[in-house]
Amino acid sequence: MSVNTVKMQGSLESKGARVINFSQFRSWQRMKPAIFSGMAKFFPTLEPQHHRFIVAQHMFFTASAAPTGHVNMSPRSTDMFRILGDNAVMYLDRTGSGNETAAHLGINDRLTIMFCAVSGPPLIMRLFGKGRVIHRDSDEFASLLDERFDGNAPLGARQMIRLDFDLVQTSCGYGVPLFEYQGERPQMDAWAKAKGVDGIDDYWREKNQVSLDGFPTGLFETPG
């Protein structure tokens, strides 16, 4: 059954979507742009309006989980986020109190990245796909650092995370509160500077080698 899509004022959504029955599809790859219950739309790839939306955001979230144990969600700044193509994104991962995402991806490559507008037109966007860790001593890390970050990594950058996705979901975002962006926090750079290279290495060895559930993060693995 087809419906007409109502364009929300100021929204970055696109027109021409239709209601679908998910049971008719065996995989997300076969889905065409669609709307479900008048709220969510699905796309097989990023479209131009999605690129513009991502670039305008200041924060994103990653969600990951191993087959057992805790589910993790982490907020991050988009200053280290890069769009590699219509079905691939990555971010340079800085030191944190834990390293859950890397540990989970070593066991289960499912990864979701979410953006939500906290100012301007309302919208939530999720990218569903498979993630992997790019180790800091690998040729791929060095290549991406040159291509996407002008060869400069902030002190404390421990790895990169890449997501290859086959499903983009957008929804209205009406329930997300409005906030005003004030800037990046200075504490991360100050902490890393105070620690120094050796201090950060010690911190990684103490805090970042296993997850909450004891899964290895592979932080000190030698790239194969």
- Of the candidates 61, 66, 79, which has an alpha carbon nearest to the alpha carbon of residue 163? 61
Residue 13 has pLDDT above 90, yes or no: no
Kindly tell me if the per-residue pLDDT of 176 is higher than 60: yes
pLDDT of residue 224: 66
Looking at the predicted structure, is the pLDDT value of residue 16 above 70?
no
pLDDT tens digits, one per residue of 65-115? 999 999 999 999 999 999 999 999 999 999 999 999 999 999 999 999 999
- Flag whether pLDDT at 162 surpasses 90: yes
- Delineate the domains of the chain, giving CATH numbers in brackets: 25-174+185-207 (2.30.110.10)
Q: In the numeric block, which tokens belong to residue 126?
A: 């999720």
| Measured distance CA(92)–CA(77) in Å, rounded | 10
Does pLDDT of 217 surpass 50?
yes
Over residues 120-148, mean pLDDT? 98
Helix, strand, coil tally for the chain in percent (to 5): 25, 30, 45
* Integer Cα distance of 132 and 46 in angstroms: 20
